[in-house]
A and B are shown apart, each in its own frame.
Chain A
Amino acid sequence: MALRTEPFVLNMGPVHPSTHGVFRMRATLDGEVVLDIEPVFGYLHRGVEKLAEQRTYTGFIPLTDRMDYLASMSNNLGYCLAVEKLAGVKIPERGEYLRVIMAELQRLASHLVAVGAFLNDCGAYFTPFLYMFREREKIVDLFEMVSGQRLTYNYMRIGGVSQDIPEEFLPAMDKFLATMPGFIDEIDRLLKENEILLARAKGVGVLSSENAIACGVSGPVLRSTGIKWDIRKADPYSIYDRFDFEIPTGEAGDCYDRYRVRVEEMRQSLHILNQARKDIPEGPVRADVSHLVRPPAGEVYGRIEAPKGELGFYLVSDNSIAPYRCHVRPPSLINLTPLREMVRGWKVQDLIIIFGSIDITMGEVDR
């Protein structure tokens, strides 16, 4: 007689170490095989878009820190760029360079967490994670030097950055830039051809490029499917058109490619940082913009290539001191759209790493 099995529902999260925050999945399982999942959001919903309507344009910057809290600098940058586009502000050269330096350091920090957490999900408990955090700590120290904060930096302002860097900053960054390539090589030696990682991640959770485009996926997840799309190149903002760098892409769109793309992107960020370090000019860091800036009535969409993908701000202004509407285009939420199709047919432990390889921050998903 054939064995009859019945699907059952397993509730994963919202408090679960592998959910990277407070994400919840209702997984329908047949034994160990995932038949379907239903993502449940909202545990960290704070109504950021509504709060923006009750604050000044400058007053919203600290709230952007709290969306993708692993990439606060990038959030600051994306928002400030959108307001500046609306108000027509020109940023001084040194301010532009400082922004690029901070954004790229932030990308390194965010990818370090992404890679570390991904390896954690793969079962390499906390050893690689600890090494990643050791390196991330150096970046956080640099950010503390410029902003006094270690997580929510609130460093950028409309028209530039809040203050110039202290004189110890560039020597400290040089030290970091000298040691970081060696560390990335070390990760590669350990993991690039690691048999366990290959067995766990290669060919797992494949996302096709057609599906990625249909779902509006962006960032490393999109690039891992083989599409060479990086907003820094395709639609350059700030001064990214001055730097020379490559866009790493994957081929298969599996978990392993997503991991590889992030590691390669770290190298490219270091390359950009070295160029920016060499060319950074002296001068003012902030344009003369009032804290109560009143952009002319109109609407604008400003976007950047944040570590997790296309981070955009759609602002509608009615020429008052607060935005009439501020919509955030969250890469984390939209990158989760194809998750359901990616995990079907895989085992529970694969579900964990497929989800982990997308790299999301719940603060941005729920806002």
Chain B
Amino acid sequence: MTVALSGKEIARQLEEKFPGSTVQTDESSALVQDKSLLQTADFLKNSPELGLNYLNFVTAVDYFDYFEVVYRISSLEHNHWFTLKTRVYDREDPVLPSVVGIWKGADFQEREIYDLMGIKFENHPNMKRIFLWDGFPGHPLRKDYL
């Protein structure tokens, strides 16, 4: 069985390394500040005990007040997983740092989020729409689209 890493324990390690990075936690996830996303992601991937080097998926959820971006990461070697989350509050021009440099598998998925949810990922090698055509009005997965 793939074990869920405890959110509290990971948050403690993150706080120790990067004070003020985590906002809240639950059983198996931690919500981090968008500005500390890259350093926490890098730590989770490269820490030898965690080794979360496999990105299962990344997606975004629209909660009207904010977008929540969800990174489900796991380690095939240790057979455990964790969920890293972050939030963007700006609806007009939401921007997050891209994690393609950490997990290459985020490439198409971040483009998908940009296409359908309208969140831009900074430093992504090819930040453009993936499914819809250029010039498509709006981002259809947003709750206020239809």
Contact = CB atoms under 8 A, between A and B. Distances in A.
Nearest to B142: A50
Interface stretch (A41-49, A138-146, A353-361): A41-49
Interface stretch (B14-22, B32-40, B90-98, B126-134): B126-134
Contact of A213 (B54, B140, B141): B54
Nearest to B106: A216
B109 interface: yes
B61 A337 contact: no
Contact of B2 (A213, A234, A333, A367): A234
A275 to B, nearest CB: 21
Interface string B104-122: 1111110010001000000
Most buried by A among B62, B106, B108, B132: B108
Given A41-B131, A42-B133, A213-B53, A227 B105 contact: no
Nearest to B107: A337
Contact of A50 (B2, B59, B141): B141
Contacts of A301: 56, 72, 83
A235 interface: yes
Contacts of B103: 214, 216
A140 to B, nearest CB: 30
B56 A329 contact: yes
Interface residues of A, number: 34
Q: How large is the interface on B (under 10, 10 to 19, 20 to 34, 35 or more residues)?
A: 20 to 34
Contacts of A324: 61
A216 B72 contact: no
A42 B54 contact: no
Contact of A327 (B57, B83, B106, B108): B57
A245 interface: no
Contacts of A216: 54-57, 103-106
B108 A336 contact: yes
Contacts of A310: 56
A301 to B, nearest CB: 6
B123 interface: no
B72 A235 contact: no
Contact of A217 (B105, B112, B131): B105
A210 B56 CA distance: 15
Given A49-B116, A216-B55, A312-B56, A337 B79 contact: no
A348 interface: no
Contacts of A49: 116, 141
A303 B61 CA distance: 19
A237 to B, nearest CB: 10
Interface of A: 41-42, 45, 47, 49-50, 211, 213-217, 227, 229, 234-236, 301, 303, 310, 312, 314, 316, 324-325, 327, 329, 333-334, 336-338, 366-367
- The 8 A-B pairs of least Cβ separation, nearest first, read A216-B105, A42-B131, A235-B2, A45-B131, A327-B59, A329-B57, A214-B104, A215-B105
19 contacts: A42-B129, A47-B140, A49-B116, A214-B53, A216-B56, A216-B57, A227-B76, A229-B76, A301-B56, A310-B56, A312-B57, A314-B59, A314-B70, A325-B61, A327-B59, A333-B108, A334-B108, A336-B108, A367-B131
Given A49-B116, A216-B103, A327-B61, 13 more contacts: A42-B132, A42-B133, A214-B53, A216-B56, A314-B57, A314-B59, A324-B61, A325-B61, A329-B56, A333-B108, A334-B57, A336-B108, A366-B131
